[in-house]
């Protein structure tokens, strides 16, 4: 009840507070954020909140326009500069900001626009890949699956396309294609990226997965981590990490790196939890996800893999 009342107070008094601050600082809210908040998530999150809560019709049109572009994945190397320039120009005119007197504002605000709608576009791209079912008749899918095997088991050849050997890297049966149902090719691409970009971390986790007491199904857990990463991406929790880590427009690589961190950390969390068996997976994953959400609640958070070697 108190939270609801406070929300109402904020809604009704926000315009008055903004007007008062503009009169006393001679700067609009977006300027105060861009000059007063650290770069990355602290700045971009507040710029996004300010834009989406704005009652100004020109700002509302701008936000809707950027949403449409990102939803159609229209931000790329060819179009990005024009899109950012138009967004900056709209805000400068609407907020009556003199670009000569405030040269740093355009750069700071433009970077926030790049992060905010790059993230929006990233969510769309990941969802599209998640919806693509694994197709054993698709040569690209088959080559990616074979690549995963070769990355994880470089010294062992597959005896056949359908074989019990797949269970050695944590698939449920003789044919991995059925395990990708929930996350589609996104789950496969995540696993391949982790194994290729962080080979020592992936090898370390695969070794842990064979632990005689605390072992787990490596590939199946990996696909579940994809599902968790998508939850964090969709509901915006992952913005903190992405906004702090992205140097340019966030791309699919940003999601793969986020996933790789989650997999590596979950592996350690699982072993440290000393589960009795795989039946404890849901409870342990829930606790792990809670820890990640807690960490991402800090706007300064950025995740990086720090590989350390220990004994299983």
- What pLDDT score was predicted for residue 305? 85
**Residue closest to 42 by CA, chosen among 232, 238, 243, 293:** 243
Q: Is 278 exposed, middle or buried, given 0-12, 13-18 or 19+ CB atoms closer than 10 A?
A: middle
**Residue closest to 163 by CA, chosen among 152, 151, 177:** 177
pLDDT digits (tens, 9 = 90+) for 173-198: 999 999 998 999 999 999 999 999 99
Structure token digits, residue 312: 């299983």
**Helix pair angle (252-273, 199-209), 10° resolution:** 40
pLDDT digits (tens, 9 = 90+) for 251-281: 999 999 999 999 999 999 999 999 988 889 9
pLDDT over 70 at 238, yes or no = yes
What does the pLDDT average to over 237-246? 97
pTM for the model stands at 0.90
Are 191 and 153 in contact by the 8 Å Cβ rule? The answer is: no
Q: Under the phi-then-psi rule, with left for phi > 0, alpha for psi from -120 to 50, and beta for the rest, what region is 303? A: beta
Which residues, 6+ apart, have CB-to-CB distance to 26 below 8 Å? none
């Amino acid at each position: 009840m108190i939270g609801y009342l406070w929300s109402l107070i904020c809604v009704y008094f926000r315009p008055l507070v903004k007007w008062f601050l503009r009169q006393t600082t001679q700067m609009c809210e977006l300027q105060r954020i861009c000059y007063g908040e650290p770069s990355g998530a602290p700045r971009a999150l507040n710029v996004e909140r300010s834009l989406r809560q704005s009652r100004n019709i020109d700002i509302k049109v701008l936000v809707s326009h950027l949403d449409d572009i990102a939803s159609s994945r229209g931000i790329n190397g060819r179009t990005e500069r024009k899109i950012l320039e138009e967004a900056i120009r709209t805000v400068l005119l609407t907020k009556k900001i003199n670009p000569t007197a405030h040269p740093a504002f355009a750069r700071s605000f433009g970077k926030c626009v790049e992060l905010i709608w790059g993230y929006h576009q990233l969510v769309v791209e990941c969802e599209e890949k998640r919806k693509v079912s694994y197709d054993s008749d698709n040569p690209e899918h088959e080559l990616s699956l074979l690549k995963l095997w070769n990355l994880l088991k470089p010294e062992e050849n597959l005896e056949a396309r359908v074989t019990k050997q797949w269970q050695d890297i944590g698939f449920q049966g003789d044919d991995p294609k059925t395990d990708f149902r929930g996350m589609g090719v996104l789950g496969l691409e995540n696993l391949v990226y982790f194994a290729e970009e962080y080979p020592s971390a992936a090898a370390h986790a695969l070794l842990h997965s064979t632990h005689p007491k605390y072992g787990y199904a490596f590939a199946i857990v990996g696909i579940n981590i994809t599902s968790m990463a998508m939850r964090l991406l969709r509901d915006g929790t992952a913005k903190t990490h992405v906004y702090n880590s992205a140097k340019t427009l966030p791309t699919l690589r940003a999601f793969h790196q986020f996933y790789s961190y989650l997999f590596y950390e979950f592996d350690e969390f699982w072993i440290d939890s000393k589960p009795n068996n795989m039946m404890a997976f849901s409870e342990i994953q829930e606790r792990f996800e809670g820890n990640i959400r807690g960490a991402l609640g800090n706007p300064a958070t950025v995740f990086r893999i720090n590989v350390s070697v220990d004994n299983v």
